[in-house]
Structure formats: structure tokens, C-alpha cells
Amino acid sequence: MCRSKKTNQDIFLLQLHVFWGEECRMEAVHTEGILMAETLQQMTSSYEKFWLVVTHIGDPKAAFLLVFPFTYFISRPAGVTVVWVAAISEWLNLVFKWMLFGERPFWWIGESGLFVNKQPNVRQFSSTCETGPGSPSGHAMVTAAVWWIVVSSLGSYLYSRTRSMLLSAAPFLLYVVLLVAVGISRIFILAHFPHQVIAGSITGFILGVILSRTAPERRPLLFFFSFSIGLLLSALMLHTGLQQLGIDLSWSIHLAKKWCSHGEWIRLDTAPFSSLTRDCGALLGLGLAQYWKPGGWSLPWAPRALSLAISSMGLYHVNRLPLPVRPQGLFYGLFFVKFVIVPQIVIVLVPGLVHLFTNKKKKD
């Protein structure tokens, strides 16, 4: 069967048609996303504080500062896995965002030019103005990956104790509810479009299932050091390579600064390189903590609860430590060190002090 010969002009017109067809489809998807956000803000305005709390729970850094200590003092292997999965999934999310160039609703409204005559009745919040690209949602992706570790461990524990399929399935139901709530919160505050949340949730779930089988518990320090440096260098090489191809990876930062309704809502800790230094720092910190205390501290339940409370307070204050934003290299360096410290507090320092105090009290 013969095919008609296409000229260069025919090929160009065909490519142009495909490009504009894709543009129109994405424009329709984005428009529907804005309308959904508008509806959510109008119908659930009384739940504004709730959505803001949920979006903070879904923040990738919450995996290190909240989920990790909570999980570690219940099950040490699960806690180590949480750090591993959180770091790898957030690093992959950064790579995906650099490759997919996803828009964010709060700047797309102005950039699209579709709402000149009639602006949507939406507003921004202090958590809205993130500076990285929008696709896929990092909140949804990291939450789905990390909480899969928690609910699967809890589900297995419940089944081993009760042999009840119904009871062991309850954590997985809560998992779905959490993902839906985090996704809605991100749409509500204009940080993401619905399709970005769905993509992040599905990808995160797959990563949680796969990465949970590769947790590097009790690996040598050299493994963590090499892995941390490898992630850092590979991301920097990808960034440099894309820039050499003429791709401006700071485009999202410029748009965020342009369309954020409050300049003070632009924070350097939401920039792409902040997530990179957080992940690499946490992995190196995990290696150091397991090097100092390979088997962890063996504590009864009461001292574990005390360790959890003290660790949570310690991490709260570490997270609140102000860092200089200029020069940016110093900020990223100190941000890296901050998350190296996190596993030391949870795995080594606080449990060690509690162990020392409780043993001394028993002797007295």
C-alpha cells in the first residue's frame, strides 16, 4: 500500500496541528481545574483552617519531621524505611517537575490571558506560592509513598494479632482518605491542578510499594554517603544539561514571584534546590545515625513515648531555626546540615539520653 509523499511544509503543518491540539487540551484541563478550585473555595470556605492543616501534613518535609519520629518509635525498621522512601520519592518528584514543566493555578490564571474579562473568584494563601513547577504534586507523591509504609506496616501488624481482614484493611481506608484530603487541600489553595494531584498520588503509591522492599537498614556509612552525593551530583548534572539545551529551569520561580499576591509568601525553602538538599542531607544523616548506633536503643514503651515527645519538640525547634537567605549557597548548605541533624536527634541523641536517665533512675 503506497503512502502519499509529504513535503516539509506538510510535516510542519502536521506538527503545528498536533502542538496546538495538545495546547488546547491542556488549556481545557487547566480551565476545569480553576473552576474546581473556585467551587471548592466557595463551598468549603468554612473548612479553610482544616485544609491548611492538611496541606501542612502533606508537606514533604513533614515526612522527615513528623512521620519519621512517630513511626521510628513504634517500629525501627519502618522508621528507617520512611526516611529512605521520603528522600527518594521527593528527589524523583524534583526530576519529574524539571522534565514536565507543569503550571501552577495561581500563576496560570494570569499568564493564560483567559480571565481578562471575568476573573475567577479565588484567593491565595500563605502556602500557595511554591516556586517549583507543578507536575506532579510533590505533596501528593511523597504522602502517598511515605504513608504507604505506615499503613502497610500497621495493616500487617493488625492482621498478625487479630487475623481479621476487616480490621487490617482499616489503615488502607484511612490511607485513601488521607490522599484525597491532601489532594483537595492542594487544589483548594491554588497550588496544583487536579490532574497533577492524581498523577502524584498514583506515582507515589507505586514508589511506596517498590521502595519499601529496598530499605537500606544497617547499611555501611559509605553506602549512604555515596548515595547522598550521587543524588546531589546527578540532579546538578541534569540541571546543567537542561540549561545547556537552552531550557530555563528558573521559569517557575519568575512566575511565582510575578503572580504571588504577597511577596513574603515566597520562601526559599520551597525552591527546587531546597528539596534536593533536604533529601541528600536526610540520607546522609540516616547513615551517620546508624553508624553511631547500628542497632538503635532498646527501650520499653514508656521511654519510647517519652523519646517521641522530646524528639518532636527538638525537631520543631530545629525546623524553626532561621537561616540566612543570602548568599543562597550558604542557605542551601545550612539547610543540608539541618536535615543531617534530624536522624541524629531521633535515632541517637534523644533515645540515648532517655536510656541513660531511665537506667540511672532504676539503679538509684
Residue 184: CB atoms within 10 A of its CB come to 20
Q: How far apart are CA 219 and CA 229, in angstroms?
A: 16
Burial of 187 from C-beta contacts in 10 A (0-12 / 13-18 / 19+): buried
Rounded to the nearest 10 degrees, how much is the dihedral formed by the CA atoms of 283, 289, 294, 295?
Answer: -100
Do 312 and 175 touch, CB atoms closer than 8 A?
no
Sign of CA pseudo-dihedral 66, 91, 141, 154 = negative
Q: Which grid coordinates belong to 32?
A: 476545569
| Residue partners of 80: CB distance under 8 A and separation at least 6 | 72, 215, 216, 217, 286, 290
Confidence (pLDDT) at 15: 40
Tell me the Cα Rg of the chain: 23
Q: What is the pLDDT along the chain (364 residues), one digit of tens a residue?
A: 333 334 444 433 334 344 444 567 788 899 999 999 999 999 999 999 999 999 999 999 999 999 999 999 999 999 999 999 999 999 999 999 999 989 999 999 999 888 878 889 999 999 999 999 999 999 999 999 999 999 999 998 888 888 888 888 999 999 999 999 999 999 999 999 999 999 999 999 999 999 988 888 778 899 999 999 999 999 999 999 999 999 998 999 999 999 999 999 999 988 999 999 999 999 999 999 989 887 677 888 899 999 999 999 999 999 998 899 889 999 999 999 999 999 999 999 999 999 888 876 565 5
pLDDT of residue 362: 60
3-state SS assignment for residue 128: coil
Q: Quick one: pLDDT at residue 19?
A: 41
The catalytically annotated residue of 17, 30, 56, 192 is 192
Helix (H, G, I), strand (E, B) or coil at 61: helix
60 with 86: CB under 8 angstroms? yes
The answer to whether 82 and 146 are in contact (CB under 8 A) is yes
DSSP letter assigned to residue 295:
T
Residue position matching grid coordinates 487544589: 187
Residue 308: is it exposed, middle or buried by C-beta count within 10 angstroms (0-12/13-18/19+)? buried
Check residue 343 and give its pLDDT: 96
Residue 186 labelled as part of a binding site: yes
Gap between the Cα atoms of 56 and 204, Å rounded: 17
Q: Taking Cα atoms as reference points, which of 295, 276, 274, 280 lies closest to residue 225? A: 280
**Which three cell numbers mark 90?**
521527593
332: cell is: 542551601
- At 10 the pLDDT is 42
The kind and range of the H/E element at 354 are: helix 350-363
| 56 catalytic per annotation | no
Spans of all domains in the chain: 32-107+127-363
Question: Are residues 81 and 335 in contact, defined by beta-carbon separation less than 8 angstroms?
Answer: no
> What cell does 98 get?
524539571
Q: Which residue in the list 139, 239, 254, 262 is annotated as catalytic?
A: 139
Residue 11's pLDDT is what?
38
Q: Is 30 a catalytic residue?
A: no
